[in-house]
């Protein structure tokens, strides 16, 4: 950020005048370059005239020898000075004043050798004095103009004394001196305005640079993920959060989105072809597979084929807030559900059992009793799930090695459900350590495997696979349960973790909801992914035990 410095002076002391007006400022540098080039051009022109135009003599009529010596010396001085000061020009008041004195001396000698004011060379002093006034402080600028005017008058006086020149030439010399003073008077305030404008522009440039840096910092550290692409699908802007979600390793602008994130490029292409800016693309899994991402696209130009701003939102955060509110509502209702529904349902179930013992019941009556008993069990299952959710205690995490735990779980699960060997299998060999509540993990995996058995058996066979390992991006440990069933319908995938959302007749729709809540209690994430070749995969992404915060 820009800072300001203040110089303190004691009373009665005079502040030293700066050696140059804003030493090194761009205006003075450009003026010095221009004057240096102009000085070289004048020196070369005078030297060419002195050597090449002897008969008839254009300049140096009074003293050709003096004119040639002065032109040669002045040309050499101009070239050497230009080479020395070209990069970068040295803006020092004393040096500028010395250069002007040399210019005045050389032009005065050239004037004297060429017939004085009538030769017209005195007009060159106007350029040199005006340029010097743009780089010198006020008093030094007027001092330099006074020296130039006095030099013109002194040259004219010397011509009158030596050659008997007409005294009327003093009028022309005086007019030239007055013009020099007027140029210096006009150049000095102009230089001040140029300096103020330059300082203001420099400060605005600093402010804009600071603002751009601040904007870039804000964008890069936003919790929201932002990606901006142009009409050719080249990335113009991407922040850190979006790079992590999409797996893009570089944030250099101008790169092809199809090479950095093919799935995001395909989604953008489908959205452009549909031609509806209000249409929300389907969600997709993040690069590390730990969460689902919702994409919101907005055109920045006049149409869908121009630049596009993409907001990528972690669907887990949004669903977590929604689920928390639903969980709070369920908690308030759970007590009344237990007292108001459980007892009547128990009474209905008991009455159906007593009625079933009657010997006078026919086949139709027994079918109706089965319906009553089945639905009583279903209602009781819903009540148990809701009560379990409301009674959920804080997690007690422990270090667990998934290889041994998975083998024990598969043996217990297969024995309890009387499954054949190989219907539930563990496909990973690498052992992974996680930190989780063992009872919560068992309940979640049991529920996932039970769902896999139900959906897999409806598709003609049972094949459940349990795999574990580490994600390729952030190396977080995971455990996933996959089945070979029919999968979950597209329209239901966004709601499968909501309470009472089920795609199976007879299901309560609370199993996955409770499973995700238990995962979140252990700082883990539960996500769904369609399995290649058919079926479903539910993945538990654990927190890294090395970074667990107590």
Whole-number pLDDT of residue 109: 81
Could you please state the CATH topology (level 3) that the domain comprising 225-315 is classified under.
Answer: Beta-Lactamase (3.30.450)
Residue with the two structure tokens 């050239």? 110
* Helix orientation angle between 124-133 and 169-220, rounded to the nearest 10 degrees: 40
Structure tokens at 528: 């769904």
User: Fold match between 225-315 and 398-547?
Assistant: no
In 10 A of CB 259, how many CB atoms?
Answer: 11
Residue 56 has which token pair? Answer: 């008839």
Q: Can you tell me the mean pLDDT for 377-387?
A: 69
Rounded distance between C-alpha atoms, residue 444 and residue 450, angstroms: 10
Q: Which secondary structure element, helix H or strand E, spans residue 154, and what is its range?
A: helix 138-163
CB 191, CB 133: distance < 8 Å: yes
Task: Give 35-74 pLDDT, tens digit per residue.
Answer: 778 888 888 888 887 787 766 666 766 777 887 888 788 8
How far is 436 from 477, CA to CA, in rounded Å?
A: 11
Q: Which of 98-112, 201-215, 309-323, 424-438 has the lowest mean pLDDT?
A: 309-323
Q: DSSP label at 167?
A: T
pLDDT in tens, 267-288: 888 888 887 777 778 777 777 6
Number of other residues whose CB lies within 10 A of the CB of residue 161: 9
DSSP-derived secondary structure letter, 532:
T
Write the Ramachandran bin of 509: left for phi over 0, alpha for psi from -120 to 50, otherwise beta. left
Distance of CA 269 to the CA centre of its chain: 23
pLDDT value for 397: 86
Six-digit token string for 180: 């020099």
Residue 352, pLDDT score: 77
Structure tokens at 49: 């005239």
- Which run of H or of E encompasses 431? none
Give residues with Cβ within 8 angstroms of 439, minimum separation 6. 396
d(CA 275, CA 213): 35
CB 174 within 8 A of CB 194: no
Before 88, cis peptide (omega within 30)?
yes
CB 112 within 8 A of CB 161: no
pLDDT of residue 10: 40
Helices 363-390 and 342-356 cross at an angle (nearest 10°) of: 150
Tell me the range of 63-77, 146-160, 318-332 where mean pLDDT is highest: 63-77
| Statement: residue 449 has pLDDT above 60 | yes
Domain residue spans of the chain = 26-205, 225-315, 318-390, 398-547
How do residues 455-487 score in pLDDT, each as one tens digit? 766 556 678 899 999 888 778 899 999 988 777
What H or E segment, with its residue span, contains residue 279? none
CB of 242 closer than 8 Å to CB of 227: yes
Q: What is the dihedral of CA 177, 178, 182, 185, to 10 degrees?
A: 70
CATH number of 398-547: 3.30.565.10
| Least confident stretch, 86-90, 186-190, 478-482 | 86-90
What is the spatial order of strands in the sheet that 464-470 belongs to? Answer: 424-426, 464-470, 477-482, 536-541, 525-530
Average pLDDT, the chain: 75
Query: Strands 308-314, 225-229: parallel, antiparallel or unpaired by DSSP?
Result: antiparallel
Name the token pair of 541: 């992404």
Lowest mean pLDDT among 174-178, 395-399, 517-521: 174-178
How, if at all, do strands 234-238 and 225-229 pair? antiparallel
> 24 is written with which tokens?
């090194």
- Ramachandran area for residue 24 (φ above 0: left; ψ -120 to 50: alpha; else beta): left
Confidence grade of residue 163 (pLDDT, cut at 50, 70, 90)? low
Strands 433-436 vs 477-482: parallel, antiparallel or unpaired: unpaired
Residue holding tokens 């050499």? 76
Instruction: Determine if the peptide bond prior to 156 is cis (ω within 30°).
Output: no
Token digits of residue 149: 């005017």
**Distance separating alpha carbons of residues 309 and 230, to the nearest angstrom:** 9
**CB 91 within 8 Å of CB 41:** no
Helices assigned H by DSSP within 341-390 = 342-356, 363-390
pLDDT of residue 155: 73
Q: What angle do CA 91, 97, 102 make, to 5 degrees?
A: 120
- Whether the CB-CB separation of 63 and 113 falls below 8 Å is answered with yes
């Amino acid at each position: 950020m820009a800072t300001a410095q203040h110089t303190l002076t004691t009373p009665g002391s005079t502040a030293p005048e700066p050696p140059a007006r804003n030493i090194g400022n761009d205006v003075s540098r450009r003026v010095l370059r221009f004057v240096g080039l102009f000085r070289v051009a004048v020196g070369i022109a005078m030297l060419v005239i002195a050597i090449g135009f002897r008969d008839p003599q254009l300049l140096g009529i009074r003293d050709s020898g003096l004119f040639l010596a002065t032109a040669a010396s002045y040309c050499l001085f101009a070239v050497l000075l230009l080479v020395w000061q070209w990069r970068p020009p040295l803006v020092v008041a004393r040096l500028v004043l010395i250069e002007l004195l040399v210019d005045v001396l050389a032009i005065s000698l050239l004037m004297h050798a060429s017939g004085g004011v009538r030769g017209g060379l005195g007009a060159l002093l106007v350029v040199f004095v005006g340029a010097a006034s743009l780089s010198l402080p006020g008093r030094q600028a007027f001092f330099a103009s006074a020296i130039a005017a006095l030099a013109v008058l002194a040259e004219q006086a010397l011509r009158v004394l030596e050659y008997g020149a007409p005294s009327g030439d003093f009028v022309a010399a005086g007019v030239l001196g007055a013009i020099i003073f007027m140029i210096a008077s006009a150049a000095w305030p102009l230089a001040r305005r140029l300096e103020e404008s330059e300082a203001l522009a420099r400060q605005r440039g600093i402010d804009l640079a600071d603002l751009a840096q601040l904007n870039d910092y804000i964008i890069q550290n936003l919790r929201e993920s932002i990606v901006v692409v142009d009409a050719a699908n080249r990335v113009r802007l991407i922040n850190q959060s979006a790079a992590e979600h999409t797996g893009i390793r570089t944030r250099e602008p101008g790169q092809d989105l199809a090479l950095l994130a093919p799935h995001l490029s395909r989604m953008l292409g489908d959205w452009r072809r549909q031609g509806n800016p209000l249409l929300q693309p389907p969600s997709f899994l993040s690069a590390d597979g730990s969460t689902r991402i919702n994409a919101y696209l907005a055109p920045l130009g006049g149409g869908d084929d121009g630049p596009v701003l993409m907001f990528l939102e972690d669907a887990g955060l949004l669903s977590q807030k929604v689920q928390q509110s639903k969980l709070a509502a369920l908690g308030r209702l759970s007590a009344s559900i237990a007292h108001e529904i459980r007892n009547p349902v128990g009474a209905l179930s008991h009455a159906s059992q007593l009625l079933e013992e009657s010997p006078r019941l026919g086949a139709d009556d027994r079918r109706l009793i089965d319906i009553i008993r089945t639905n009583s069990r279903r209602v009781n299952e819903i009540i148990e799930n809701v009560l379990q959710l409301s009674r959920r205690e804080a997690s007690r995490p422990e270090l667990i090695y998934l290889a041994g735990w998975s083998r024990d779980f598969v043996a217990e699960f297969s024995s309890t459900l009387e499954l054949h060997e190989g219907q539930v299998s563990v496909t990973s060999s690498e052992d992974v350590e996680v930190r989780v509540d063992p009872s919560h993990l068992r309940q979640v995996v049991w529920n996932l495997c039970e769902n896999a058995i139900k959906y897999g058996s409806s598709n003609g066979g049972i094949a459940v696979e349990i795999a574990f390992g580490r994600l390729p991006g952030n190396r977080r440990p995971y455990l996933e349960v996959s089945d070979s069933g029919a999968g979950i319908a597209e329209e239901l995938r966004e709601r499968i973790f909501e309470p009472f959302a089920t795609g199976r007749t007879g299901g309560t729709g609370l199993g996955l909801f409770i499973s995700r809540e238990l995962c979140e209690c252990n700082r883990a994430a539960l996500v769904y992914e369609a399995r290649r070749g058919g079926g479903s995969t539910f993945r538990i992404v654990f927190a890294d035990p090395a970074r667990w915060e107590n």
